[in-house]
Amino acid sequence: MTQSHQPRLPAFDAATATHEQKAVLDEILSGPRGNLNGPFLGWIHSPELAQHAQRLGAFCRYNTGLPLRLSELAILVTAQRWQAQAEWFIHYPIALKAGVPETLAEQIRTGAQPVFDEADDALIYAFTTELYDAKRVSDATYARAVERFGHETTINLVGLLGYYALVAMTLNTFGMRAEGQTTLPFAE
């Protein structure tokens, strides 16, 4: 579905950026992401938030202790729950490349009950959906997560979910789209 939209924030002009804004941009561009796609050009209007958020995001994306497939699966569930157009658009191809089955991703996108081939995928989905739906994680799901991933990685999973919910809220609130995005995965 194609939709025209107007972002709510003024366009960012690097030529008139403050020292603080330039420092954030330089750190993002020289880090593992290497691009500004996503919420960064929204956050840059608040450079201190941008700096803290992008550092947290780098940790959540690359250092949680979860395999990339599971991190990306959790991000797709988050994008679907928040109907975050750009978040899904950016992370869908990363998730597929990391090994998330296309059929599973499509089931998540449409809100269908997913069918899992991998126990870890089912566990990440259960943990994520319980936290979003019930605002808690059941004792049984928590115990399974800690048994499988350990306390530290389970804590990091919660951080990842919180961070990508922040990303989704930013993208949705300010009407942001991903670079090159011409179609929307969710109806608006």
pLDDT at 3: 45
| Percentage of the chain modeled with pLDDT above 70 | 97
Confidence band, pLDDT 50/70/90 cuts, at residue 5? low
CATH architecture under which domain 68-173 falls: Up-down Bundle (1.20)
**DSSP secondary structure string for all residues of 47-72:** HHHHHHHHHHHHHHHH-SSS-HHHHH
What is the average per-residue pLDDT within 35-54?
89
Rounded-to-integer distance, Cα 134 and Cα 184, Å: 28
What is the average per-residue pLDDT within 10-32?
87
Q: How many residues does the chain have?
A: 188
Closest CA to 74 of 27, 132, 21: 132
Rounded-to-integer distance, Cα 121 and Cα 158, Å: 16
pTM: 0.92
Residues 6+ apart with CB under 8 A from 46: none
pLDDT tens for 123-174 read 999 999 999 999 999 999 999 999 999 999 999 999 999 999 999 999 999 9
> Quick one: three-class SS letters along 74-132?
HHHHHHHHHCCHHHHHHHHHHHHHHCCCHHHHHHHHHCCCCCCCCHHHHHHHHHHHHHH
* Domain range list for the chain: 14-62, 68-173
Residues 6+ apart with CB under 8 A from 49: 43
Place of tokens 């700096």: 51
pLDDT tens for 106-125 read 999 999 999 999 999 999 99
pLDDT tens for 94-104 read 999 999 999 99
Rounded-to-integer distance, Cα 186 and Cα 53, Å: 25
Q: Are 160 and 109 in contact (CB under 8 A)?
A: no
What is the average per-residue pLDDT within 24-47?
85
Rounded-to-integer distance, Cα 68 and Cα 113, Å: 22
